[in-house]
């Protein structure tokens, strides 16, 4: 068992050893008195290196009450799985509740924009859920995703051409803002038939929503975020009520949908479905791609093989989903008194399922600290949840990340991670974590920078690779 560093970015006292798949972190001397009392899920130490904390939670307190958030942290893989697979005992109602209380001034801004989020998908435990979910899966099932591959490849190539030219001219570039963040947004817009807004605006709205509901913003920041979230909601509301949605579009499909009692969806619920899908469908995947790229560039010898070796990019994405998924936690609430992981929980107890840590549970994954892209049970991770609410965008997210990784390795074969001054910025919300910058440099030569683009552009039909 490793013990958490006390508000330090990483367990510096960890003994580094080498396993067959690369370096692993060994045990850390137990020098911290009651370290879990110092756990701060929004603290810099936890955001930068959550693993020692998650190891300690699993080993010492698998069902742990966190006084800072008022949530019960559930950290063992099998306990989390049990919760996800039992929606009668563990309801999804609190999945989208604001983590930081919204003061009256912020509520007024949201109310002026007509903002409301009636239960629709992730926070809906009612019978209407399954039908609404079917509408979503029709747009993101494996067949649709396979058909979307040329779209994903085209957009990836377009974005990388610009990024590559920038690196050639400037010597360095950021793969997050120019590529990872934009690709899923543009893909989603094409798949859902969204045309009347630009990707940068959609990204800004989506990121603001994540920070307002899953972050720890101060009151001034909450007001700024609420203005953006209000704009987002108003745009969605106008799109839904405009009546001009093409019949093949997502909004058109929702307009045709009927609830179990035969009635059409009301306006508020339609907006609520769109709100969640537009956020879930792009921000999370952008975060995944950023982590996938950073980890691949940091792993010795991996980058040159990604474009060539069939299956390697897909396997790397899967291993990143296990070890460092972008959706780090998800919430449930107990419907009645239950026993979980040896603890008795009262009815109405809000739970925080530690998805990120569950991928490193040694009960399930051998050598969990090591990146082993071809480990046999890699798909047993819970990065996409499980059961009735399991992420319907999993196939799209996996495919986009694999295409993005392969395309970047092919178009930018000479780049390497830049050495950065100071701490690199990280997104650290209650449920979302990822690098906010992936700065790369072209290989330096005596005369300047060797162009990043030296390999010919080639379309690869094999999606899984």
Q: For tokens 């050495």, name the residue.
A: 419
Contact 235, 208 (CB under 8 A): no
Q: Which is nearer to ligand HEM, 375 or 389 (CB)?
A: 389
How many residues interact with ligand HEM (rule CB under 6 A)?
A: 29
Q: Least Å distance between CB 387 and ligand HEM?
A: 6
Sign of CA dihedral 91, 96, 99, 105: negative
Q: Which of 21, 61, 151, 386 touches ligand HEM (CB under 6 A)?
A: 386
Q: Least Å distance between CB 243 and ligand HEM?
A: 24
Burial of 16 (0-12, 13-18, 19+ CB in 10 A): exposed
Q: Least Å distance between CB 278 and ligand HEM?
A: 9
Q: Which of 125, 173, 326, 373 touches ligand HEM (CB under 6 A)?
A: 326
Q: Which of 56, 397, 402, 434 touches ligand HEM (CB under 6 A)?
A: 397
DSSP line for 288-306: HHHHHHHHHHHSTTTHHHH
- Binding range to ligand HEM, per CB under 6 A, among 216-224, 227-235, 295-303, 378-386: 378-386
**Could you give phi then psi for residue 220, rounded to 5 degrees?**
-65, -45
Q: Least Å distance between CB 385 and ligand HEM?
A: 2
Q: Which tokens sit at 405?
A: 């990784």
Q: Which of 226, 253, 378, 383 touches ligand HEM (CB under 6 A)?
A: 383
Task: Give, as ranges, the residues between 1 and 30 that touch ligand HEM (CB under 6 A).
Answer: none
Provide the terminal-to-terminal Cα distance of the chain, rounded to the nearest Å.
Answer: 35
Distance CA 254, CA 264 (A): 9
Distance CA 419, CA 296 (A): 15
Q: Least Å distance between CB 459 and ligand HEM?
A: 22
- Binding range to ligand HEM, per CB under 6 A, among 158-166, 200-208, 322-330, 438-446: 322-330
Residue 440: which region, alpha, beta or left (left: phi > 0; alpha: psi -120 to 50)?
Answer: beta
Distance CA 253, CA 274 (A): 11
Q: x/- binding map, residues 272-311, to ligand HEM, per CB under 6 A? A: ----xx--xx--xx--x-----------------------
Q: Least Å distance between CB 96 and ligand HEM?
A: 10
Contact 183, 152 (CB under 8 A): yes
- Binding range to ligand HEM, per CB under 6 A, among 321-329, 336-344, 416-424, 433-441: 321-329
Task: Give, as ranges, the residues between 97 and 156 that touch ligand HEM (CB under 6 A).
Answer: 121-122, 133, 136, 140
Q: Least Å distance between CB 392 and ligand HEM?
A: 5
Distance CA 439, CA 178 (A): 10
Distance CA 138, CA 132 (A): 10
Q: Which is nearer to ligand HEM, 136 or 345 (CB)?
A: 136
Q: Least Å distance between CB 285 and ligand HEM?
A: 5
Q: Which is nearer to ligand HEM, 277 or 297 (CB)?
A: 277
Q: Least Å distance between CB 350 and ligand HEM?
A: 14
Question: Does position 359 bind ligand HEM by CB under 6 A?
Answer: no
- Binding range to ligand HEM, per CB under 6 A, among 4-12, 242-250, 337-345, 385-393: 385-393
Q: Least Å distance between CB 314 and ligand HEM?
A: 14
Question: Does position 330 bind ligand HEM by CB under 6 A?
Answer: yes
Residue 125: closest CA among 397, 424, 361, 387 = 387
- Binding range to ligand HEM, per CB under 6 A, among 25-33, 202-210, 217-225, 325-333: 325-333
Question: Does position 384 bind ligand HEM by CB under 6 A?
Answer: yes
CA distances in angstroms from 414 to 65, 261, 442, listed in the order given:
48, 59, 6
Residue 284: closest CA among 400, 158, 151 = 400
Give the CA dihedral 434, 48, 385, 309, nearest 10 degrees: 60
Distance CA 28, CA 23 (A): 15
Residue numbers at the binding site for ligand HEM (CB under 6 A): 84, 121-122, 133, 136, 140, 276-277, 280-281, 284-285, 288, 325-327, 330, 383-387, 389-393, 396-397
């Amino acid at each position: 068992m490793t013990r958490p560093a006390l508000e330090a970015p990483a367990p510096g006292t960890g003994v580094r050893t080498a396993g067959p798949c690369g370096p692993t972190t060994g045990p850390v001397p137990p020098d911290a008195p009651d370290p879990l009392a110092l756990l701060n899920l929004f603290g810099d130490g936890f955001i930068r290196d959550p693993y020692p904390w998650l190891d300690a939670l699993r080993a010492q307190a698998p069902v742990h009450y966190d006084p800072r958030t008022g949530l019960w942290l559930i950290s063992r893989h099998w306990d989390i799985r049990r919760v996800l697979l039992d929606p009668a005992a563990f309801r999804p109602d609190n999945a989208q509740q604001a983590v930081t209380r919204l003061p009256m001034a912020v509520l007024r801004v949201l109310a002026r924009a007509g903002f409301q989020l009636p239960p629709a998908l992730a926070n809906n435990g009612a019978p209407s859920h399954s039908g609404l979910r079917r509408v979503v899966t029709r747009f993101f099932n494996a067949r649709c995703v396979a058909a979307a591959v040329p779209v994903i490849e085209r957009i990836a190539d377009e974005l990388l051409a610009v990024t590559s030219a920038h690196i050639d001219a400037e010597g360095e570039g950021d793969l997050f803002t120019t590529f990872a963040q934009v690709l899923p947004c543009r893909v989603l817009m094409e798949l859902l038939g969204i045309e009347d807004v630009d990707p940068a605006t959609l990204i800004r709205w989506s990121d603001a929503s994540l920070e307002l509901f899953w972050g720890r913003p101060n009151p001034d920041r909450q007001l700024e975020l609420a203005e953006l979230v209000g704009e987002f909601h108003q745009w969605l509301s106008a799109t839904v009520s405009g009546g001009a949605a093409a019949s093949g579009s997502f909004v058109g499909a929702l307009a045709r949908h009927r609830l179990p009692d035969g009635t059409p969806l009301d306006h508020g619920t339609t907006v609520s479905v769109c709100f969640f899908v537009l956020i879930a469908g792009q921000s999370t995947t952008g975060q995944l791609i950023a982590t996938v790229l950073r980890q691949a560039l940091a792993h010795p010898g991996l980058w040159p093989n990604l474009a060539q070796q069939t299956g390697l990019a897909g396997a790397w994405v899967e291993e990143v989903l296990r070890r460092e998924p972008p959706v780090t936690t998800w919430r449930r609430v107990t419907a009645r008194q239950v026993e979980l992981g040896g603890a008795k929980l009262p009815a109405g107890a809000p739970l925080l399922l530690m998805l990120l840590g569950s991928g490193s549970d040694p009960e399930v994954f051998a050598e969990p600290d090591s990146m082993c892209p071809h480990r046999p049970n890699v798909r047993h991770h819970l990065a996409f949840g499980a059961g009735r609410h399991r992420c319907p965008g999993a196939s799209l997210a996996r495919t986009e990340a694999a295409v993005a990784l392969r395309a970047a390795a092919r178009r930018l074969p000479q780049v390497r991670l830049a050495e950065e001054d100071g701490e690199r910025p990280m997104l650290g919300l209650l449920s979302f974590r990822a690098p906010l910058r992936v700065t790369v440099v072209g290989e330096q030569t005596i005369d300047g920078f060797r162009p990043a683009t030296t390999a010919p552009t080639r379309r690869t039909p094999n999606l899984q690779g």
